[in-house]
Amino acid sequence: MEKVQMVDLKGQYLKIKQDIDAAIQNCINDGYFINGPEVKLFQENLAQYLNVNHVVTCGNGTDALQIAMMALDLQSGDEIIVPAFTYVATAEVIALLGLTPVMVEVDPDTFNITADLIEKAITPKTRAVVPVHLFGQCCDMEPIMQLAEKYQLYVIEDTAQALGAQYTFSNGIVKSAGTIGHIGCTSFFPSKNLGCYGDGGALMTNDETFAKKLQKIANHGQSKKYYHEVVGVNSRLDTIQAAVLNVKLAKLDEYAKSRNYAAYRYDEAFSKIEGVQIPKRQPNSTHVFHQYTLKLSEVHRNGLKKHLEEQGIPSMIYYPLPLYKQEAFRSEKYHERDFPVSEALCAQVLSLPMHTELDEVQLDFITNSVISYVSSIKQYA
Ligand SMILES: *Cc1c(COP(=O)(O)O)cnc(C)c1O
């Protein structure tokens, strides 16, 4: 058996080696390392894949979030609602721009924020909300969009973990994660569902005014070379990365299928085990399983992690701390007692190996290792 990895980028590469090598070699032969034709092509390909009017590529997912926030023309002190249980990038760029991130509790089953939880945190200063489609499943966007309309809020989707996931509205309309709010942001960090071979990111929008603004901000605030209309940033997707992404985008649905198969095998193995809770599926969203995350209420999470480690199976805790407990974001206004769900999740979650290359033998090995630990502690309980 191949050693189990959290993510197997090498194994995935070997299956598309010819196409990737040719794409990269082609960029080197052309010499257009910045803004080469592959970048424009990838923007078009991704826009088509997501069924969205505009895609603007940039340097990474964190930049995408920052550029989106900059495009909203907000004032210092304006509040933006974010989940307390997420990756730090979501809140970081808000704070960096002098805006105020306001953390809210998440739903215990989906790990995502909901309209109800958002509404409780709305104040006269609230200008935007950032639904993070955590671990690969969409937030329940229809009520969130209705709430945003009611309170005139911008919705900036953080789709870094859910590219390719689809959300179905009650009227039957289906939209891709990242194309539902005003602006969607994503990351092509190598381990993401659509990962390049370095850093990369993109913004999505159906609004032409926003599209122009995002493009301008990402490119030093200029729409005409050497004429800078606003203060922007320099954030670009390298041509070589775009070339890699053009190859991999064509595989994204197949990759989602492999991830769903692994998730199905995990579900099947763990769904009846007491104390182990499999990730909940929302009926109105597909899941692309950036992570497969168990909740361990009775089983000792750290004990299981150590047991797996001893078997050579990696696992990860996403995330060990809620945002308000991060030293960088500590504030008087947050109290542990207001976030029982985030607190519990940080103590209970464990993400198992999840990637496109897990084979039957590895899946058996992982599921058996989890089950053997859980039944052994039951014996002594
Ligand atoms: C990865 C990630 C980001 C940041 O992406 P980078 O490309 O690493 O900057 C932002 N938000 C979430 C939820 C992420 O998982």
What does DSSP assign to residue 196? -
Alpha carbons within 13 angstroms on the beta-carbon side of residue 341 total 16
* Rounded distance from Cα 192 to ligand 1 centre (Å): 9
* Rounded distance from Cα 160 to ligand 1 centre (Å): 5
Q: What type of residue is 380? A: Y
The minimum-distance atom of ligand 1 relative to the CA of 60 is 7
- 8 Å CB contact between 232 and 212: no
* Rounded distance from Cα 240 to ligand 1 centre (Å): 20
d(CA 90, CA 130): 8
CATH architecture of the domain with range 252-379: Alpha-Beta Complex (3.90)
- Would you identify the CATH topology of the domain 9-104+111-249? Aspartate Aminotransferase; domain 2 (3.40.640)
Q: Which helix (H) or strand (E) holds 40?
A: helix 37-50
Q: Within the chain, how many helices (H) and strands (E) appear?
A: 13, 14
Residues with CB under 6 A from ligand 1: 60-62, 86-87, 89-90, 132, 158, 160-161, 187, 189, 199, 201
Helix, coil or strand: residue 350: strand
CA 330, 336, 340, 343 dihedral sign is positive
- 8 Å CB contact between 175 and 169: yes
- 8 Å CB contact between 184 and 191: no
What does DSSP assign to residue 164? T
Q: What type of residue is 29? A: N
Q: Which of 175, 192, 248, 295 is catalytic?
A: 192
* Rounded distance from Cα 381 to ligand 1 centre (Å): 40
The minimum-distance atom of ligand 1 relative to the CA of 63 is 9
Pocket probe for ligand 1: among 88, 161, 323, the residue whose CB has the most ligand atoms within 8 Å is 161
- 8 Å CB contact between 251 and 16: yes
Pocket probe for ligand 1: among 62, 135, 316, the residue whose CB has the most ligand atoms within 8 Å is 62
What's the pLDDT score for residue 126? 98
The minimum-distance atom of ligand 1 relative to the CA of 188 is 7
- 8 Å CB contact between 170 and 227: no
Protein residue with its CA nearest to atom 1 in ligand 1? 160
Measuring CA to CA, how many Å separate 374 from each of 158, 311, 378? Answer: 35, 14, 6
* Rounded distance from Cα 78 to ligand 1 centre (Å): 23
- 8 Å CB contact between 131 and 139: yes
The minimum-distance atom of ligand 1 relative to the CA of 64 is 9
* Rounded distance from Cα 92 to ligand 1 centre (Å): 11
Q: Reply yes or no on whether 192 is catalytic.
A: yes
Q: What type of residue is 266? A: Y
d(CA 61, CA 373): 37
The minimum-distance atom of ligand 1 relative to the CA of 187 is 7
**What are the extents of the domains in the chain?**
9-104+111-249, 252-379
* Verdict on whether the full-model pTM lies above 0.95: yes
252-379 matches 9-104+111-249 in CATH topology? no
Pocket probe for ligand 1: among 158, 185, 235, the residue whose CB has the most ligand atoms within 8 Å is 158
Protein residue with its CA nearest to atom 5 in ligand 1? 61
Walk along the chain (381 residues) in steps of 10 and give the mean pLDDT of each run. Answer: 96 98 98 97 98 98 98 96 95 95 97 98 98 98 98 98 98 98 98 98 98 97 92 97 98 98 98 94 97 90 96 97 93 92 97 98 98 82 55
